[in-house]
Structure 1
Amino acid sequence: MQTVLISGGGIAGPVLAHGLRRHGFKPTVVERAPALRPGGQAVDIRGVALEVMERMGLLEQARRVRTRMRGMSILAPDGQEVDRSTEAVFSSGRLDSDDIELLREDLVRMAYEHTREGAEYLFGDSVTGLDEDETGVRVAFAHGPSRTFDLVVGADGLHSTVRRLAFGPEEDVAHHLGSYLSVFGADNFLGLDDWQLWLRDGDAGFGIMPVRGSTELRIAFGFESAPLAPDLRDGGALRQLVVDRLASLRWEGARLAEAARKAPDFYCDAMAQIRMDQWSRGRVTLLGDAAWCPSPLSGQGTSLALVGAHVLADCLARDRGDHLAAFARYERRMRPFVTLNQALATENPGGPASEASLAHAKNALTLDG
């Protein structure tokens, strides 16, 4: 039985573990966090990714916990409504679509609970070294003892450690898109009832949506910026930068800044894409944002992670014993799909891609191809 180490316990990692286990592999998932990560924005499952969820037996469960918005208001910088829609919202598109929007933490929990009996999970640890030879990859961990695996998959996000160890510095493959995004939760101090608010004030703006039966808010705050200096990228300095930028907003700036300051699930990172000529090297391959991060601006990061995990598991099963052939097949199948979906992020700077472009991109792959 071939052993596969998957670095990253978010969405792509557990979904890959499910597919590998089903095909007779022995997956181990290592996750830096001590437990499942809470919080995060709402994410979308679209097009062919819905079929992945159906094949996993999770589609109906995802539909039960989907967000259910009534519409949205677009606000001027002073908070006055300038437009509204009861047909579509910026976070997920048309409200009558078959696509599913749900909280990231709900999808992560679903994927984990669906796979934990068939995969080994190592929480609170991370990969620190890779040493490959003709028989496998000797993996060093930050806390646990070194172990050897037949294959290693980096599904550890935009700032992937596996990618750095196997391919080199992040700066060689990361392309900054000119802005940062912060996401955090708060009590519903605005009294929103399944209704989103969107506002832009100069080079910054936010989207606010109620969740959990409108008892909580998820706030997504974006601001234009060149890449920040390393000393501003640590958690405390970056949070303070976001707090200060929020406080400068003309509408609800003070309360939003206070919510960001107190939020236990505070997140902020650059809007960037990963663009690589090759996702595999030897016995190591990359998956999800580690390989092709399209950025949240595309709206397709989650769908790409789901589809990529399914395709990689399928390719490894087809070419069992020949990982080089499997990885090559995986790249041939996924790369055109990734390219189309990455393009959604830059098609309409400052706004969403067209419905036609999204409809084409989200369905531009056949799972059994």
Structure 2
Amino acid sequence: MKVLIQGASIAGPVLAYWLARYGADVTVVERAPALRKTGGHAIDLFRPAVEVSERMGVLPQIEHLATGTAVLMAHRPWAARPARIDYLKLEKTMSDRHVEIMRDDLSEVYYTACRDDVDFRFCDRITDIADDGTVTFAQAPCERFDVVVGADGLHSGVRQLVFGDVPEQFLGGYLSVVSVPKALAHTGEMTGYFEPDRVAMVYTADHLVDARAVFIFRPRSPIDYDHRAVDRQKVELRNAFAGVSTEVDHWLAELERTPTFYFDAITQLEMATWSRGRVTLVGDAGYCPGPAVGGSTSLAVYGAYVLAGEMARAAGDHATAFATYEKIMTPSVLGSRKLARANATTIVPGSRWGVRALVGIGRAITVLPLSVTQAIARLNDRGVRLYDTMPLPEYDESPEAVAAPGDSV
């Protein structure tokens, strides 16, 4: 069975790993010239994604590359001193198995795990997909595949080709990540400034050569900008965080010379189905709950594992596999969307009272016994513990589980 995946970030390599293990002939196409090194932010792997990584044999590498953030120092303009929050305890309250890792590091771990068994083609992209699976590329000659998967993120090209324009629901905020000198952060500590409608944080890790300043803000109305207009994005970011603090001003000053910069609206997809014919979507391409607010990376790893497993279980019958894949994933996707909509306002409160409540929760978690905070969190499996409750199916991991290359599907 020949499978083409577009996207070599997170979901794509995880899917490729499992499909190759099940005996499929897998190709991954990526428009970038190499693995993307975007200077991205730290992401959370919750229990299902941690267990998938463990089954892939890469969990030790992931844990070795963990950010190691242990403390959050939360500054507020009306408080003389920052609140000290036990970040590790906060993570353990949210999930029994959790790792925080830089997105670029995680992508490289997954890529390394499958690169010897998968055909990776960089500097190319899909430009057309016919009903029979014949794919036209920007660079390579046309080729037919049994299944095509879009794992190319929120702004998926595969989704655009197959489903046309799919509206993205704006959750009211914007996320920006800026690479800054490592000297502006302290290893093991995240420094944050919390105000109504805006939060700025900086952190680093032992193995990084820089630090990352993360900005999340909620303006009164949506910003009209082009996603390619980087200079305009930097102006909007400066305006949004003007006057927060002298330290934040130092972070923003790096916009003039930062090697990497990310800026995008926090949006989510609400597709009722993400499969059509021989094509399906995985991760943010099909069901992004919202960057930074909805656990999208863990959902992408989980979805890639389930999709590969169902294709193996269906012995290459893509119609059956896609239907079961969506049936399994739909409750988790719907739950993630709901959680993201709530997090979009609670993570960046719109009032001073909201900021006090958010920091107060962090302080309570810090002083209460872990057994108590975990017990309270478990009372709401649709909230912060949502990801730990997602069922992880068991699949036959023997090779040749899917149809062989060229077999009828």
3-state DSSP of counterpart to 2:246: coil
Provide, for residues 200-223 of structure 1, a one-character-per-residue CA deviation record: whole Å limited to 9, x for no partner.
344322121122357531111012
Residue number in structure 1 paired with 2:21: 22
> 1:247–1:256: 8 Å Cα contact kept in structure 2?
no
Change (3 A) 1:33 1:77: farther
SS at match of 2:385: helix
CA deviation string 1:340-361 (max 9, x = no partner) = 2222212344335994422243
Q: Is the 2:46–2:387 Cα contact (8 Å) retained in structure 1?
A: no
Q: Which residue of 180, 190, 193 maps to 2:184?
A: 190
Q: CA deviation at 1:255?
A: 1.5
Between structure 1 and structure 2, the one with the greater Rg is 2
Q: Is the 8 A contact 2:94 2:385 kept in 1?
A: no
The aligned counterpart of 1:239 is 234
Q: 1:43 to 1:239 in 2, by over 3 A?
A: same
Query: What amino acid sits opposite 2:327 in the alignment?
Result: R
Map 1:1-369; keep pairs closer than 5 Å: 2-38=1-37, 39-77=39-77, 80-88=80-88, 92=91, 94=93, 98-133=97-132, 137-171=133-167, 174-212=168-206, 216-225=210-219, 226-231=221-226, 234-352=229-347, 355-356=377-378, 357-368=383-394
Shift of 1:98: 3.2
Post-superposition CA distance 1:206-241 (Å, at most 9, x none): 121122357531111012144433546533322332
Local SS of the residue matching 1:74: strand
* Alpha-carbon distance between aligned partners in 2 of 1:41 and 1:160, rounded to the nearest angstrom: 20
Task: Choose 225-234 or 123-132, whichever is displaced more.
Answer: 225-234
Which amino acid in the other structure matches residue 29 of structure 2?
V
TM-score, normalized by length of structure 1?
Answer: 0.90
8 Å CA contact 2:179, 2:212 repeated in 1: yes
Q: CA deviation at 1:113?
A: 0.8
C-alpha RMSD over aligned residues: 2.4
Q: Distance in 2 between matches of 1:117 and 1:361?
A: 31
**Distance between the aligned counterparts of 1:214 and 1:118, measured in 2?**
29
Q: What is the rounded CA distance, in whole Å, between the counterparts of 1:102 and 1:183 in structure 2?
A: 15
Tell me the percent identity: 37
- Any unmatched runs of 5+ in structure 1? none
Q: Which amino acid aligns with 1:224?
A: R
Higher strand share: 1
Q: Distance in 1 between matches of 2:56 and 2:328?
A: 20
C-alpha distance in 1 between matches for 2:194 and 2:246: 10
Deviation at 1:142, TM superposition (A): 2.1
Distance 1:231 1:288 in 2: 24
State the structure with bigger RCO (CA 8 A, min sep 6), 1 or 2: 2
Regions of 4+ moved over 4 Å: 87-90, 92-97
Unaligned residue ranges in structure 2 (runs of 5+): 348-357, 359-375, 396-409
